[in-house]
Amino acid sequence: MDIQNAQLAVDEWIKNHGVRYFNELTNMAQLTEEVGEVARIIARRYGEQSEKESDKAKDLGEELADVLFVVLCLANQTGIDLQEAFDKKLEIKTKRDHDRHQNNKKLK
């Protein structure tokens, strides 16, 4: 599924299963919460913190999908075509960063 269709799927889900979109500030708080859950898993699973027994069953993919869902909600409710924005950003990063990363000795 491309980003544009993901936005449509989220909008359809909101219409069929939700009452309405939460307001933008609530969704921003929700996004922060979901990113925190991703950070907790990564810090404990891949970082130096020890993973608690209760955290071992947490699914990183599911938490990343939660982040994506809220990002798509925010894009929908603010009128952003995220496919267009992403394509534009990728083009900018490609032009700007190609040589910079290729010449970065830290990445070799």
Structural domains of the chain, with CATH: 3-81 (1.10.287.1080)
pLDDT in tens, 67-82: 999 999 999 999 999 9
- What are the residue ranges in the chain where pLDDT is below 70? none
pTM, entire model: 0.90
pLDDT digits (tens, 9 = 90+) for 35-50: 999 999 999 999 998 9
Long-range pairs for 78-85: beta carbons < 8 A, 24 or more residues apart: 78/24, 81/4, 81/7, 82/3, 82/4, 82/7, 83/2, 83/3, 83/4, 83/7
